[in-house]
Structure 1
Amino acid sequence: MRRWLPSPPLSLALFVVWLLLNQTLDAASLLMATILAVAVPLLTQSLRPATARMRKPGTALRLAWRVLIDVLESALQVAGLLLSRRSARIHARFVEVPLKMRDPNGLAVLSMICCLAPGTAWAELSFDRSRLLLHLFELEDEAAFITLIKERYEAPLLEIFES
């Protein structure tokens, strides 16, 4: 089964999305959905990182909650800055964050976390995965921000993916 469907959830999602986009259940749509559901995961199998195991589900839930709170707080901060300051008074800049984490799945989650928060964008990861470059909409204390990323996000991700 794994030989033809290396990622059943992806296959199912492709099948359903194809049918939803076409808004029909005729034979041609079902056949095309089946072909896509089998072919796309097979053709993209080498592009996906190694399968991750959830080692600490409690830590993952706490991290998800923390990210939700941080995204909401960040959205309010960015909105407040946009409404109250002129662009010349906003201190946007790049920050380089040293990383301990090397797991590709953990780095992928960290990239999603960084890109979800309004005002923060993942800019670059060094070739050896030891440094992360982030662009921030507003930053006053670089050291405090680096500590926040390492303690709030990297430390739990290390527990989840590398312990």
Structure 2
Amino acid sequence: MMRRLFPAPLLSLALVALWLVLTNPYSVGNWLMAVLLSVVVPLLTQSLRPTPVRFSHPWVAFQLFWRVGFDVIEWNWRVLRGTIARAERMPSGGFITVPLDLRDPNGLAVLAAIMCVIPGTIWSEIALDRSALLVHLFHLEDAQREIDLIKNRYERPLMEIFE
């Protein structure tokens, strides 16, 4: 019964918290709306979640969260320096193809989000068989080093979390 009413309990909790934060006064009406949203939205979006999320190793997820946060800050500085550099020192971007071992669709979705959040990187395309990822980098010096970085910093922890 509970699983049918709350197919995604973490999403439901997040929706309640988000609604209450956004509608600051904690009135009875806001609580009722938060609970209504926490029931209706997961039910309506259930078909958009084709595979259930198997989340394990929360400590690895916590470490990955902080690693991505620090990478965002570091790459913001790199992009800033690259955009204000003189013409002869302008970074040259390029595409790399990252071979993927990660197969879980939820893990791939998180990898896509990470690649889009890190300044200077863009998830460009994934192979139909999910075996490779095309990424554009704002500043590309050593393609193999960047491939290894993506695989070690992001893909390996995601495999540990989702597979």
Q: Match for 2:9: what amino acid?
A: P
- Whether the 8 Å contact between 2:75 and 2:119 is mirrored in structure 1 is yes
Partner of 2:6: 5
Change in 2 beyond 3 A, CA 1:23/1:150: closer
1:144 matched residue in structure 2:
145
The TM-score normalised by the length of structure 1 is: 0.80
- Give the 3 Å change call, closer, same or farther, for CA 35–58 of structure 1 in structure 2: closer
Root-mean-square deviation (Å): 2.6
Percent of pairs with identical residues: 51
More divergent stretch after superposition (126-135 vs 148-157): 148-157
Residue in structure 1 matched with residue 106 of structure 2 by the alignment: 105
Q: What is the alpha-carbon distance in structure 2 between the residues aligned to residue 124 and residue 63 of structure 1? A: 23
What do residues 18-46 of structure 1 show as CA deviations (whole Å, max 9, x unaligned)? 4554556364x555444332211101112
Counterpart among 50, 53, 57 of residue 51 in structure 1: 53
Residue correspondence of structure 1 range 1-163 to structure 2 within 5 A: 1-18=2-19, 20-21=21-22, 25=27, 27=29, 31-48=32-49, 49-54=51-56, 56-86=57-87, 89-162=90-163
- CA distance in 2 between counterparts of 1:16 and 1:59 reads 24
Give deviations 1:93-127, integer Å, cap 9, x for gaps: 22221101101122122122212211111122222
* Structure 2 unaligned regions, length at least 5: none
Q: What secondary structure, in the 3-state scheme, does the structure 2 residue paired with 1:135 have?
A: strand
**TM-score normalised by the chain length of structure 2:** 0.80
Task: Write out per-residue CA displacement over residues 75-101 of structure 1, whole angstroms, 9 at most, x where no aligned residue.
Answer: 111111112244993312222211011
- Conserved? CA contact 2:15–2:38, under 8 Å: yes
Amino acid at match of 2:95: F
Give the Cα–Cα distance (whole angstroms) in 2 for the partners of residues 23 and 87 of structure 1: 52
Shift of 1:139: 0.8
Q: CA, structure 1 residues 20+120, in 2 after alignment: closer, same or farther (shift >3 Å)? A: same
Paired positions, count: 160
